[in-house]
Amino acid sequence: MSRKVQYHWDLEVYQISVNAAMRIFEISKTFPKEETYSLTDQIRRSSRSVSSAIAEGWRRRKYLKAFVNKLNESESEAAETQVWLEYSVKCGYMDRVHGKKLHETYDNIIGKLVTMGNNPEPWLLKKSQ
């Protein structure tokens, strides 16, 4: 936290997750039509859910358990995205280089979320007296 974070979009982890989801969106445009309602839909949904859960958690940060729960949900969506990335590569819809780089990006996101969840106090809103 080198500068004051006022909004969820100020969080580095949020910015990284949005950029990663947008990369997945662009790459998934090339997936075969028969994957539209399965792999394409799943990877887009899970990747977008990472940032949406971060935003929801940010708005619930006056309550420790609610905040940490949303961080955990975001973490699980990031892990799910890694699974879909693996399938995308193994099915030949995404090249290994892009798949590996995105997988590593989601490892980074998960690490940041775990760190925030293990030490949530700096992020919580202070109760007024």
Within 60-95, residue ranges assigned H as helices are: 64-90
pLDDT for the residue numbered 47: 98
- Position 129 pLDDT exceeds 70: no
- Position 1 pLDDT exceeds 50: no
pLDDT for the residue numbered 117: 97
pLDDT for the residue numbered 128: 63
pLDDT for the residue numbered 4: 82
**pLDDT bracket for residue 126 (50, 70, 90):** confident
pLDDT tens readout for residues 86-117: 999 999 999 999 999 999 999 999 999 999 99
Closest by CA to 48, choosing from 19, 28, 88, is 19
For the chain, list the domains and their CATH numbers: 8-123 (1.20.1440.60)
pLDDT tens readout for residues 17-62: 999 999 999 999 999 999 999 999 999 999 999 999 999 999 999 9
pLDDT for the residue numbered 127: 73
pLDDT for the residue numbered 115: 98
**pLDDT bracket for residue 3 (50, 70, 90):** low
- Please give the C-alpha separations between residue 93 and each of 47, 49, 97, 106, 118, in angstroms, as whole numbers: 17, 22, 12, 19, 36
Report how far residue 114's alpha carbon sits from residue 42's, in angstroms, rounded to the nearest whole number: 23
